Amino acid sequence: MDRERFRLTLFFILLTLLVGVCVVLVWPFLRLIALAVVLAVVVYPAHRRIARRIRGPSVAAALSCGLVVVAVVLPMALVTARVVDEATALTEEMKTAFERGELPAYLRPLDLAAVRDARRWVEERIALSGLDLESAVRETVTQASAYLAAQSMVMVRNLVWGAVQLLLALVTLFFLLRDAPRLLNSVRAFAPLDPVQTDAVLRRATDTIHATVYGAMIVAITQGTLGGLAFWALGLPSALLWGVVMTMLCFVPLLGAPVVWVPAAIALLLQGAYAKAVGLALWGALVVGLVDNLLRPTVIGARTQLHPLVVFFSVFGGLLLIGPLAFILGPVIAAVTLALLDILKLQLAEGRAAAPVEKV
């Protein structure tokens, strides 16, 4: 008995060490593996239809990966390249203005009639001789430009590394799709739950991924596109850039597109462009805002029952830990955790119901 216990202890120590080494080896690629898993869940319904018509799991998986490249990777690459061009043009415009010793028009606060009137009103009551708004703005923007210039090489390196990670994620996606039945059986075999509970947790995670990707992404892209079109129609600078920013903000509960279009409408109002300010405000409130109320219940429905506050903290906490992938993985982790808590609650309730009642 002692010998058997020793062998069992030694086995678990060795297994723990080897699992730890494997975790260390995989840790640098954990994000791309998570991205591949998310893509696999999203693409699997289409992959299943392809696999029914194509003989050979490898060929079907390759066609599904090609579908991801055409439908997701190429559009994202084109939009990213265009956004980088707009950001570069905006930076060059600011740099040229600085070389001439002046600020761009949209960064000169004293050129705004409302700011001049407010400053004149305050100066009648308080001495503001030492306050130079334009110099303050110039210094702030100069520091920001210097920081962005210093980070340019870091950004290029991150883009290259992101491309490498995307390629590795596609390779991982290929094997996940090809070997999906075998991998699911392995998950069910090692899960510390009965098959019904395991399927319930997997279904909760799958529904959350579908709701986040199909639902939230459709809503966010629609709102960002409408907001960007409004910026373009009004002649505001870097319309595509701000449209992408609105799209990203729409993934975050309690924030959304108003974080961009409301300050833009206020800036137009201060510049005296009253018609543009009112038009942007009406478009943002009535069109961009209603998209969320109309599309979200239709596209997402009741597939996920996460409270907005839970989504808010799961997204922001995930951003600090894993980066942009948290927009999807944060709600998924929260949903799986809540599913496990529901299972625990049911187990405790069954345990209390089965416990014998002591007679007094």
* pLDDT value of residue 2: 74
Q: Is 233 among the domain residues?
A: yes
pLDDT (0 to 100) of residue 334? 82
Query: Quick one: pLDDT at residue 103?
Result: 55
Comparing C-alpha atoms, which of 36, 55, 48 is closest to residue 175?
36
For residue 174, the model assigns a pLDDT of: 92
CB hemisphere CA count around 243 (13 angstroms): 23
Whether 196 is in a domain gets the answer: yes
- Name residue, tokens 């055409």: 70
8 A C-beta contact, residue 268 and residue 112: no
* Reduced 3-state DSSP string for 123-184: HCCCCCCCCCHHHHHHHHHHHHHHHHHHCHHHHHHHHHHHHHHHHHHHHHHHHHHHCHHHHH
Structural domain for 258, as ranges = 191-347
Asked if the structure places residue 237 within a domain, the reply is yes
Residue 231 lies inside a defined structural domain of this protein: yes
pLDDT for residue 325: 73
Check residue 134 and give its pLDDT. 56
* pLDDT value at residue 360: 44
**Number of domains making up the chain:** 1
Distance, CA of 46 to CA of 214 (rounded, Å)? 13
pLDDT along the chain (360 residues), means of 10: 79 90 86 84 87 86 89 79 73 65 54 61 56 58 60 65 82 90 82 80 81 78 88 84 83 77 82 82 85 66 64 76 75 82 78 57
Residue 69 lies in a domain: no
- At residue 229, what is the residue type? L
pLDDT recorded at residue 21: 92
Is position 294 within any domain? Answer: yes
Q: Is residue 133 part of a domain?
A: no
User: Which two tokens mark 252?
Assistant: 């975050």
Please report whether residue 342 resides in a domain.
Answer: yes
Long-range contacts of the stretch 98-105 (C-beta < 8 A, 24+): 98/138, 98/142, 98/145, 103/134, 103/137, 103/138, 103/141
Identity of the amino acid at 352? R
By three-state DSSP, how is residue 34 classified? helix
pLDDT for 148 equals: 57
